[in-house]
Structure 1
C-alpha cells in the first residue's frame, strides 16, 4: 500500500528556468540504490547545479545531491554520485544529436515520485539565455505580479 506522502514529492530546479530557455522536455527514469530512494521519499534531494551528459551512448546526471539516508549504516550511498537516466533509444539518439550542437545542454528540471512509487526526472533540452534575456524574464515576471495585484483589488 502506497502512502500519499511519498507521491507528493516534487523537487524543482528553479534556477534552470532563469538560466535556460527550454526547447523540449522528457520524463526519464533514474537508476537508484535502496538508500537513495528512501532519502528522496523523505524529500532530501536537490537539483541545484545539476546537468546531464552522454557517456558511451547512455545519459547520466551529474551533481544531483541526494542526502545520505539516516538509517543507512554501511549500505549508504555517495551523496553526489553520477546516476544513469533511463530513456528510449529513439529519445537518446535525438537528445544526443541536438545536445552536440553548440549552445544546447540537457538540464534536470524536476524530480518526483510517480503513482507507482518510482522516482522520475523531468529533463529539458535547453539553450542558455543571454543577460538581456534574463532581464526580460524578470521584467515579465514583475509585470505579471503587478497585473495580479491590480485584478485582486
Structure 2
C-alpha cells in the first residue's frame, strides 16, 4: 500500500542560541502556549524570535514576555500583535515546583526553544537557569574551540 503522508511535514525547531551562552541550565520543562488567531501560522513559517524573551509569574500562572512572533503575511486586517504577553500551559505540579525554585536568589526562567510537536501543537521548552559569570563564559568559548579543532582534525 501507499505510504502514509504526515500531517505536518515541515519541522520547526527554533532555538535561543544566546541562552546557553548566558545561562547555566538547572532544569527544563516543556510548556504549551496560548496563541491567538494567526500566531500559529507565523510559527509554522518559522518567524519567531526568542532572544529577548523571559518568563515570569503572575497570580500563580506563568507568562512569557518579549517573544516576537512576526505578523502573518497572508492575513488581512485581523492580524495579531507581534510582541505581547502569552500564557504558558504547565501542570499545577510543575508550576508549583518552578515557582518555589524561581524565588531562590539568582534563578530565572528563560525560553530555550520553540517547536511543533507530532500533533501540530506549538510547544515551548523553558529552562530554570542561573546566570553565568564571565569566567564561565570564557570556559564555554574554550570548549567550543576545542570541539571545532577536533572536528577539523577528523577531516
Would the TM-score normalized by the shorter structure come out above 0.5? yes
Q: How many residues align?
A: 150
List alignment gaps of at least 5 residues for structure 1: none
Aligned-partner Cα distance in 2 for 1:96–1:141: 33
Deviation at 1:82, TM superposition (A): 0.5
Residue aligning to 1:2 = 7
Residue aligning to 2:33 = 30
Residue aligning to 1:136 = 139
More helix by share: 1
Residue aligning to 1:88 = 91
Aligned-partner Cα distance in 2 for 1:74–1:110: 29
TM-score normalised by L of structure 2 = 0.94
Deviation at 1:34, TM superposition (A): 2.4
Aligned-partner Cα distance in 2 for 1:89–1:75: 33
Aligned-partner Cα distance in 1 for 2:63–2:98: 12
Deviation at 1:75, TM superposition (A): 1.5
What's the C-alpha RMSD, in Å, of the aligned pairs?
1.0
Aligned-partner Cα distance in 1 for 2:152–2:30: 35
List alignment gaps of at least 5 residues for structure 2: 1-5
Confirm whether residue 99 of structure 1 aligns to residue 99 of structure 2. no
CA-to-partner distance for each residue in 1:37-82, whole Å, 9 max, x for gaps? 0100111111011100000100000000000011222211110001
TM-score normalised by L of structure 1 = 0.95
